[in-house]
Amino acid sequence: MSVEPSDHSWFRNFHGGFLLEGYTLTLVRGLSPQTFLDRLSADLQGDVAGFDAFVTRDRDFQDDQADWGEYMLVGATLVPGKDADWVLALEINGGIELQTDAISHATAGTRAVSHFRSPNAMSLFSWWEDGELRTRFEGPLHRDGSTPDELVDLMHQVGFDFEDGGCSVENYIALAEELTGVRVTPDVLENSTYSIGIVEIPAEEWKGVVIDITDAHGTRTHVELPNPTHEQH
């Protein structure tokens, strides 16, 4: 029996919906938290007990940054899956999976899934195998990666809307559970001990803007506008 998205309706009310303001959750099979952080080249910062302590540490850390986003704080804890233990990594807002190459190295020889939501309600789901991005998508209709269609059956099973292209954070969490066997619960997030690391987000030169819009009729407009000041080679 497939996981039901409604199994994860708790997420919307967790700490008053705090994580809906921006988070990244990543699950990586078979690594210890310390090994995962080492693979990210993280600067280790010790452990904190519980979600509140992690949020406080993250808030203090971000307040000390001159420019938000130059570094990200990640907390990693061990959780049981169906056939193995997994690392659950948590970021408030996030950026490591999207803005660095570290996740490719971190997933060498193993599987990882990650889902992300930004403060402006952009969301993404990513599936990695042995350092390779297999599938990434925001909504179910437009998927990227080396095997963009491999998860379609599972996506149908956990309630993704292939008619309107809609999805929810509950769909993401249910799909992650199908791929990992890990059930993320309020207790897991609330009471875990998180090993903390700081990961540098390298600055990237702005090369252009991508406009990607799907209208109410399902028509997609995808335009890439280069930065006119970017040197062409």
- Is the residue at 232 inside a domain? no
- Is the residue at 217 inside a domain? no
Ramachandran area for residue 208 (φ above 0: left; ψ -120 to 50: alpha; else beta): left
- Is the residue at 18 inside a domain? yes
pLDDT digits (tens, 9 = 90+) for 51-87: 999 999 999 998 887 766 688 999 999 999 988 999 9
- Is the residue at 211 inside a domain? no
- Is the residue at 154 inside a domain? yes
- Is the residue at 212 inside a domain? no
- Is the residue at 119 inside a domain? yes
Lowest mean pLDDT among 47-51, 67-71, 93-97, 225-229: 225-229
pLDDT digits (tens, 9 = 90+) for 128-166: 999 999 999 999 999 999 999 999 999 999 999 998 888
Specify the pTM.
0.84
Structure tokens at 215: 């209208």
Count of alpha carbons within 13 angstroms of residue 114, beta-carbon side: 28
Number of domains in the chain: 1
| Residue 68 lies in domain | 5-205
Place of tokens 């690391």: 197
- Is the residue at 227 inside a domain? no
H-helix segments, the chain = 33-39, 51-63, 96-99, 102-106, 152-157, 169-180, 186-191
